[in-house]
Amino acid sequence: MSKYSRDLKIIIANEFLSGESSEILSKKYAISSRQIRYWSQVVAIHGDNAFQPTPHLRHAEARLQALKLMWTNDWSLGHTSAMLNLSSPGLLFVWLDRYHKKGFRGLEYHSRGRPCMKKPRIEPTHSDDEKTIEALKEEIAYLRAENAVLKKLEELKQAKRQQTKKKR
């Protein structure tokens, strides 16, 4: 969600276009004068359709076309982003920076937010028919040892109970 609503941007831009100084509007709304001038540029170009979401610019190919438009017409970042109805010229700068660092792959859309948790990998359990004889023998030995430990533990508990009965 943007910091300022679409309606507020249009109202402030129209005030600037009607002759109000960007410095006065800047103090009135506590918004930078540069931002106000940019908004007025977008409203002057797009009118009532200014600051509408542009979902087509999520594709890397569309972002590359936007950069090529800027390069071929020798436009500034601010003018190009105003022509494309972007929320701020900084967005186009980020695309340009990513393109210079990573090439076309840098322009691909990355979803924001925390990534989903990976589901734990479940190991398939093998049935007794699929296990080898040695694995079955190891399992039997382990189960026998576990059983012996549990029996010994039960014997110790009974012996302790017997001792407490004798003391009373």
Note the pLDDT tens digit of each residue in 72-122. Answer: 999 999 999 899 988 888 889 999 999 999 888 888 877 777 877 888 787
Cα gap 16→36, rounded to integer Å: 8
DSSP state of 108: S
Tens of pLDDT along 128-156?
A: 677 788 888 999 999 999 999 999 999 99
Which whole-number Å values give the CA distances from 14 to 5, 43, 58, 130, in the listed order?
A: 14, 8, 29, 77
CA dist 54 → 59, 84, 93, 109, 161 (Å): 11, 9, 17, 13, 78
What is the rounded distance in angstroms from the CA atom of residue 59 to the CA atom of residue 36?
Answer: 28
